[in-house]
Structure 1
């Protein structure tokens, strides 16, 4: 695990500039004439309660503040006291070394350059995220190199390379306060020119002196075709999509077994994706039943506590869908789109368009986010992300190495 010098933590005027929409809630400006008069102990205590995005707006970071932010006592207190602030991380398809962070609360954008943190000798791409950490995977065929990064603290850690050669597997990441789990599934390279969905591997680390290296889990269900995208984690289980036909595959860590769930309306789904939804799992997909005279729509379902049935939560409003449909490229069917869920929010991006649509589940509200003003050539890839200065689980990889 490595760490950049904390003296290089930038202010919002450099590495973390924010773009705010004129119609979004007003952000409070930090009045230095007030802050400098506060007793140091009170000032430090206030910092403990600030959400991580608030540090983006600090215009001046003294050496004392920078050293405080990375002191063990501050990080421990910040974990306990700082409010959680679900956000969304967007990566341009043309440049995965740039991270654009959307704060749904303030509807502001922040730019976090990642190039200094990523390896230059192998191509990598974002694959998963959990609890303040981003997971990048090597794109070359063969055993995979996985890299965990905290873009705020600039902590970096490598996982041991997995033993099974794969092409473009699905990857799941679950990070807790004192443990982390990684699952790689599908796209086994059985020859230099052929892949087959045969197996999955799991890596687990916690605070015990010993650790679990990569180990093969139970075989994948027969006739599955796993999509090379992220997994969703909920209540000790990883979920991912299988295509042709559509199915939801479930890996149970406790029983070390795979199973599958039938998705709703699987004959008429387009671009189905799994999302984290509150404390559970949701499924988002375009629905097209032209011959049955049912209007095109994008719908949201929630997996019920029984783990086998789905309930429709909402569907995109007609005027919203018309704009989203155009962003997808129009045509006879709704084109591909990206989405990710975090808390009670789902973020959508369509095709090569950079417009972001947000669905607020508690309010059943669809709204467009302010445009991202950073370069977005080729469209965006979106992940749920929770900015955290302290991510103690990344230190477990030092114990596991």
Structure 2
């Protein structure tokens, strides 16, 4: 153990005496390493077996989680673009550098045993969830560990276009909503629960992901629009009583890590949106900003007023508004109060339409499989 510490702290500076630093207690060394940015720590893993093993150490992961959460700006973060033509290759947009990575990421090479007939359905806290014909596969890119979650009932997981995937340092949950019922998997209990048939107004909401906020998953209903919450602890549904803005043509929800709840909606008449707005939930829905007219026109022309193709998510201070048939993101930078278009990926084929899926990827050590 002393050898790698001697090499690590060897320096021409008289203040870095290797004979002193090699006797640094284990717990202090781990505490110092926990403050390293994730990218720097991953590069350091090759120094010795002990450093490499820290990625599996609960105490170190807990320390690193606490230090990184206090400064989210130091975290590496990416927007990951998926499309059926890519075949397990995903394009990455670096939101810190604000540019596309030249090389795509090939998950089949990074995750051993990943079946070819899988599709990426969700990402949460650095964990990736894939669906197969009969099961889900939850993987961690950093530890390269995985877990197979078999689905005990029909229809199979591949029949669900969307699932809600919520992970934490203590485990993860999978939630699937269908016209006939709701299904919830708890990784700590290794168990599925099936809940009664949901409200009929949620019959068309199985194509949406739920939004996690205050221990509940929130969904929007069809017209007349409303918001319904599912309590992950009790398994009960509850309709929210706070009135939504008027003249909505469609609504989508998102949360910034569970602290605030946001709503993106179109405003118009007869099912046609004339403007696009963002609200934040306080005692009521408070309007934050309106999308500039020219940007709104472009987005509405992209989705052809087919709002089922619209989805939204939060990513490191960005409110991202997307459409499955368009390879760009319209996003709102909260800190500056400005709207922007994400530059189109230069590696996309010219004839590539429909099926674009964007994911928020923030690699974290404390994501537990």
TM-score with structure 1 setting the length = 0.68
Alpha carbon RMSD of aligned pairs, Å? 3.8
Report the 3-state secondary structure (helix = DSSP H, G, I; strand = E; otherwise coil) of the residue aligned with 1:374.
Answer: coil
- 1:81 corresponds in structure 2 to 67
Superposed, which structure 2 residues align to 1:120-269 within 5 Å? 123-138=117-132, 140=133, 144-165=134-155, 167-168=159-160, 170-186=162-178, 197-206=179-188, 211-225=189-203, 226-243=205-222, 245-261=224-240, 264-265=244-245, 268-269=248-249
Residues 375 and 332 of structure 1, relative CA distance in 2, 3 Å threshold: closer
CA contact (8 A) 1:237 1:253 kept: yes
The CA distance in 2 between the partners of 1:337 and 1:323, in whole Å, is 14
Ranked by relative contact order (alpha carbons within 8 Å, sequence separation 6 or more), the top structure is 1
The CA distance in 2 between the partners of 1:105 and 1:266, in whole Å, is 37
TM-score with structure 2 setting the length = 0.74
The CA distance in 1 between the partners of 2:211 and 2:106, in whole Å, is 26
The CA distance in 2 between the partners of 1:222 and 1:103, in whole Å, is 41
1:347 pairs with 308, 320, 332, which one? 320
- 1:316 corresponds in structure 2 to 291
Deviations 1:177-206 (CA, angstroms, capped at 9, x unpaired): 1132221111xxxxxxxxxx1211111133
- 1:191 corresponds in structure 2 to none
Count of aligned positions? 331
Structure with the higher fraction of residues in helix conformation: 2
Q: Unaligned 5+ residue runs, structure 1?
A: 1-34, 187-196, 395-401
The CA distance in 2 between the partners of 1:229 and 1:118, in whole Å, is 30
Report the 3-state secondary structure (helix = DSSP H, G, I; strand = E; otherwise coil) of the residue aligned with 1:146.
Answer: strand
- 1:288 corresponds in structure 2 to 268
Larger radius of gyration: 2
CA contact (8 A) 2:121 2:131 kept: yes
Residues 223 and 231 of structure 1, relative CA distance in 2, 3 Å threshold: closer
Is 2:362 aligned against 1:386? yes
Is 2:349 aligned against 1:361? no
CA contact (8 A) 2:309 2:325 kept: no
The CA distance in 2 between the partners of 1:163 and 1:238, in whole Å, is 22
- 1:16 corresponds in structure 2 to none
Deviates more, 1:214-223 or 1:86-95: 86-95
The CA distance in 1 between the partners of 2:96 and 2:161, in whole Å, is 33
Q: Unaligned 5+ residue runs, structure 2?
A: 1-9, 23-28
2:37 pairs with 51, 55, 66, which one? 51
- 2:98 corresponds in structure 1 to 107
Tell me the CA shift for residue 334 of structure 1: 7.4
Residues 366 and 68 of structure 1, relative CA distance in 2, 3 Å threshold: same
Residues 275 and 118 of structure 1, relative CA distance in 2, 3 Å threshold: farther
